[in-house]
Structure 1
């Protein structure tokens, strides 16, 4: 499940957060685990756990390609268990 939480609630931030969450949920390279997305004014923060560095990088690359994303803070943690 991908959770979405806009840092500052505005229609534009909510839309960006929803677009990022939807793109991550649809990706075969990002686990369906619990990830959290924060979006504000073109900045996106990714929170949660993934199982490999590849998944962490793929999540970032997927988000980087979305319109409206100016900056990404990838706070995903790699959990080996």
Structure 2
């Protein structure tokens, strides 16, 4: 079996503290949202690394490389309700 025939390597990441399995190492933020059953039309992804946050707002179709156990949160693009 050649490298081209090998199945794409997948990892498990967390989105909003929920595990998301089967994420291809080379993917897009929008695909991660879809795998987490979150609508990319109304949300965007933010990668959390310690205290650092990397927003993918407006970059949902950009190809990124993800690693095992990386943490993400989803943020709504809609208006924030006020009480």
> More relative contact order in 1 or in 2 (CA 8 Å, sep 6+)?
2
Structure with the higher helix share, 1 or 2: 1
Could you say whether these structures have the same fold, taking a TM-score greater than 0.5 normalized by the shorter chain as the test? no
Structure with the higher strand share, 1 or 2: 2
Give TM-score, length-normalised by structure 2: 0.26
Give TM-score, length-normalised by structure 1: 0.27
